[in-house]
């Protein structure tokens, strides 16, 4: 059932479609599509609902893996809450796509993310921690989405994100974004510093967050920035 995807718009990407299956979830039964990334050796997923290949812009999210937030319910970030909120929005609309990319910690990997946690425990913010480890603020590849879009016959996205830079990064890599849709979720006392860093240093549009003072003794922000 596996088949290589013709490069087309992303010649530098070597992506193989593996298989698809039904995935019942609390909000709807999605179609789960599995892909193998020959560049990184990792697996990436796409969850679709309804007819996404009819030529109309598709409600979608490009979500980077966050084990602590998505799987361990961490309150130090908003990743898990955004994942759930995006799937709920797609289910409510009855049509959409969520790309789940294996790019933990903005591309630095899980172990380095834990190292970044340690630096944050000592007072660094999410950007400073990555930089002290010798990494750029963001190492993610968005071109990996192009062959996935082609396989699913999706021509443009109504992208759920709070990050205008993400919209620009996708568009710069040839991924059409018809509309940006805010995705505000899980603002809590434990992640206010993390969200403030996203607003101040990474340009995220988070109403009421960017100017909030970081309280003394706060829990350090998460090393992962899903947006």
138 is catalytic: yes
Contact 36, 199 (CB under 8 A): no
pLDDT at 224: 41
pLDDT at 219: 35
Contact 62, 102 (CB under 8 A): no
Q: How far apart are CA 13 and CA 36, in angstroms?
A: 11
Spell out the per-residue pLDDT of the chain, length 227, in tens.
455 444 444 546 689 999 999 999 999 999 999 999 988 899 999 999 999 999 999 999 999 999 999 999 888 788 899 999 999 999 999 999 999 999 886 767 788 788 888 888 888 887 788 788 887 666 678 888 999 999 999 999 999 998 888 888 888 888 889 999 988 765 554 445 555 554 454 445 445 555 433 333 333 333 344 55
3 backbone dihedrals φ, ψ, rounded to 5°: -155, 135
Nearest partner of 222 among 113, 122, 133, judged by Cα: 113
Which one from 140, 158, 172, 180 is the annotated catalytic residue? Answer: 140
132 is catalytic: no
Contact 66, 77 (CB under 8 A): yes
Question: What would the two tokens of residue 90 be?
Answer: 């797609």
DSSP code, position 210 = T
Q: How far apart are CA 2 and CA 54, in angstroms?
A: 24
Q: How far apart are CA 205 and CA 167, in angstroms?
A: 12
Maximum distance among all Cα pairs of the chain, rounded to whole angstroms:
55
Contact 46, 97 (CB under 8 A): yes
pTM, rounded to two decimals: 0.77
Which one from 37, 78, 125, 138 is the annotated catalytic residue? Answer: 138
- What 114-121 contacts at long range (C-beta under 8 Å, 24+ apart), as own/partner pairs, is 114/223, 116/223, 117/220, 117/222, 117/223, 120/220, 120/221, 120/222, 120/223, 121/220
What DSSP string runs through 23-75? EE-SS-EEEEEEEEETTT--EEEEEEES-TTSSS-EEEEEEE--IIIIIT--S
pLDDT at 43: 95
């Amino acid at each position: 059932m596996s088949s290589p995807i013709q490069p087309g718009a992303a010649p530098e990407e070597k992506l193989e479609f593996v298989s698809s299956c039904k995935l019942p979830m609390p909000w709807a039964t999605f179609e789960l599509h599995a892909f193998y990334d020959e560049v990184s050796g990792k697996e990436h997923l796409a969850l679709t609902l309804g007819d996404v290949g009819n030529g109309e812009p598709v409600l979608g999210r490009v979500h980077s893996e966050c084990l602590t937030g998505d799987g361990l319910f961490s309150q130090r970030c908003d990743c898990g809450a955004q994942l759930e909120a995006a799937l709920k929005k797609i289910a409510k609309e009855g049509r959409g796509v969520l790309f789940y990319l294996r790019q933990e910690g903005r591309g630095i990997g899980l172990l380095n993310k834990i190292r970044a946690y340690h630096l944050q425990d000592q007072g660094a913010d999410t950007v400073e921690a990555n930089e002290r480890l010798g990494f750029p603020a963001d190492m993610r590849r968005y071109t990996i989405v192009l062959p996935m879009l082609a396989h699913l016959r999706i021509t443009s996205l109504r992208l759920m994100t709070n990050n205008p830079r993400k919209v620009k990064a996708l568009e710069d890599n040839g991924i059409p974004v018809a509309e940006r849709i805010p995705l505000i979720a899980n603002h809590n006392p434990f992640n206010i510093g993390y969200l403030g860093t996203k607003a101040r240093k990474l340009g995220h549009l988070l109403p009421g967050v960017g100017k909030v003072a970081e309280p003394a003794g706060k829990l350090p922000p998460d090393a992962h920035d899903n947006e």
